[in-house]
C-alpha cells in the first residue's frame, strides 16, 4: 500500500516558510494546517488564506485538511458564536482548496458524558447543516475529554451522522485507556484518515511504533490513502546548554528542537511503512 503523507507542520516551525521547508525536505506533499505565523487557522483572514495557498502552490504543496479547533470548547460555552466561526472556517477551507475540516465533539464532564448526548448531537447537526452543499467533509477526531473520546461514543456519533467521518488518532485513544485494536474494529467503517502518533501506557507520546498504539497493525488494516504525522514529541528547551555527558540522561524521545522532533516523527512512520 502506498500512502500519501500529510503533516501538522506547525510542530516543525511556527512560520509558514519554515513549515514549507520541513515538508519539502521530508518529502511530504500535504499540510494539515493548524497554526501559521502565530495565528490559529480559525483566526486567519481570507487574505491570509489566499497568501498561504499561493505560497503552498508555488512549493508544490497542498492542504489536505483544516486542523481546526471547532468543537473543542466546553459544552456550556456559547455555541452560537462558535457556530458563526465555524461557518467562516468553511470559507477558509474553500480558499485553501481542501475538502476536509477536522472537528471535535465538545468537552463534557468525564463522569457524566452520556447525559450530554442530545446537546452534542444538536451541535454536530448544526455543523453539518452549515456545511451542507459545501463539498467539505467533516472529520471527527477522538480527543481526551470530549464526548467522543472513547470508541463507543465515537461510534454513536458516526451512527447518528454517517456524513461525519472519523480521524483515527491512536495516541489519543491510549491516553483514554482505550485499546486501539478494539477501537479500530468499531470505527474502521467510518475512518477517513489517520493521525500518526503513538503513546506509552502513561500517556506520554513517542515516535510511531515505540508505544502501545499498535501503529503497525493499524497501517496494515487501513485502507485509506492519507496519513497525517502529528509528532507531539517532547522538546527539551535547555538541551543545547547541557554538557554532552548530561545529555545521556534525557529521554531518547526528547529532542533538542521542534524541527528535530518533527523529522524524527516522520522518519519513524516511514520506517514502519
* Domain that includes residue 208, residue range: 4-272
CA 265/CA 208 separation, integer angstroms: 7
Give the pLDDT score at 251.
64
- Average pLDDT over all residues of the chain: 94
pTM higher than 0.75: yes
Residues 221, 72, 115: CA angle, nearest 5 degrees: 90
Q: Is the pLDDT of residue 244 over 50?
A: no
Residue with cell 474494529: 185
What does the pLDDT average to over 148-165? Answer: 98
**Domain with 227 in it: what CATH number?**
3.20.20.150
How crowded is residue 257: how many other Cβ atoms within 10 Å of its Cβ?
15
Instruction: pLDDT band for 1, please (50, 70, 90 cuts).
Output: low
CA–CA gap between residue 234 and residue 205 (Å, rounded): 8
Q: Sorting pLDDT into bands at 50, 70 and 90, what band is 230?
A: very high
pLDDT of residue 112: 93
**pLDDT bucket at 248, cuts 50 / 70 / 90:** very low
d(CA 273, CA 269): 6
Q: Between the CA atoms of 234, 222, 178 and 232, what dihedral angle is there, to the nearest 10 degrees?
A: 10
| CB crowding 8-40: b at 16 or more within 10 Å, else e | bbbbbbeebebbbbbbeebebbbbbbbbbeeee
Average pLDDT over residues 67-87: 98
* Helix locations, the chain, DSSP H: 16-25, 46-58, 79-96, 117-131, 151-160, 170-175, 180-187, 215-221, 244-247, 258-272
Integer Cα distance of 130 and 75 in angstroms: 19
Q: Three-class SS of residue 4?
A: strand
Q: What percent of the chain has pLDDT over 70?
A: 94
C-alpha cell at 20: 514549507
With contact defined as beta carbons under 8 Å apart, do 22 and 259 qualify?
yes
Among 70-74, 98-102, 209-213, 233-237, the range scoring the smallest mean pLDDT is: 233-237
Inter-CA distances, 15 with 176, 252, 267, Å: 32, 27, 22
pLDDT band for position 242 (50/70/90)?
A: very low
- Residue 249 — very low, low, confident or very high, per pLDDT cuts 50/70/90? very low
Whether the CB-CB separation of 151 and 187 falls below 8 Å is answered with yes
Residue-wise pLDDT for 167-191, tens only, equals 999 999 999 999 999 999 999 999 9
Q: Is the model's pLDDT at 118 over the cut of 70?
A: yes
Cβ neighbours of residue 19 under 8 Å, at least 6 residues apart? 9, 10, 12, 13, 31, 36
How many independent structural domains does the chain possess?
Answer: 1
Amino acid at each position: 500500500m502506498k500512502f500519501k503523507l500529510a503533516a501538522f507542520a506547525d510542530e516543525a516551525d511556527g512560520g509558514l516558510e519554515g513549515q514549507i521547508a520541513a515538508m519539502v525536505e521530508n518529502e511530504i506533499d500535504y499540510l494539515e494546517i493548524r497554526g501559521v505565523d502565530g495565528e490559529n487557522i480559525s483566526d486567519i483572514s481570507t487574505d491570509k488564506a489566499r497568501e498561504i495557498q499561493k505560497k503552498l502552490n508555488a512549493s508544490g504543496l497542498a492542504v489536505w485538511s483544516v486542523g481546526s479547533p471547532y468543537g473543542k470548547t466546553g459544552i456550556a460555552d456559547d455555541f452560537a458564536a462558535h457556530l458563526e466561526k465555524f461557518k467562516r472556517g468553511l470559507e477558509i477551507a474553500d480558499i485553501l482548496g481542501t475538502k476536509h475540516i477536522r472537528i471535535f465533539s465538545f468537552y463534557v464532564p468525564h463522569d457524566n458524558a452520556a447525559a450530554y448526548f442530545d446537546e452534542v448531537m444538536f451541535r454536530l447537526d448544526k455543523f453539518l447543516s452549515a456545511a451542507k452543499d459545501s463539498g467539505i467533509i467533516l472529520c471527527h477526531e477522538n480527543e481526551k475529554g470530549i464526548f467522543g473520546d472513547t470508541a463507543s461514543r465515537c461510534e454513536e456519533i458516526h451512527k447518528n451522522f454517517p456524513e461525519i467521518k472519523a480521524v483515527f488518532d491512536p495516541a489519543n485513544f491510549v491516553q483514554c485507556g482505550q485499546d486501539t485494536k478494539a477501537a479500530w474494529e468499531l470505527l474502521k467503517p467510518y475512518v477517513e484518515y489517520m493521525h500518526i502518533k503513538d503513546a506509552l501506557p502513561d500517556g506520554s507520546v513517542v515516535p510511531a511504533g515505540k508505544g502501545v498504539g499498535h501503529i503497525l497493525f493499524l497501517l496494515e488494516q487501513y485502507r485509506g490513502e492519507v496519513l497525517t504525522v502529528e509528532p507531539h514529541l517532547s522538546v527539551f528547551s535547555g538541551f543545547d546548554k547541557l554538557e554532552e555527558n548530561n545529555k545521556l540522561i534525557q529521554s531518547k524521545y526528547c529532542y533538542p528542537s521542534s524541527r528535530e522532533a518533527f523529522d524524527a516523527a516522520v522518519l519513524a512512520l516511514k520506517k514502519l511503512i
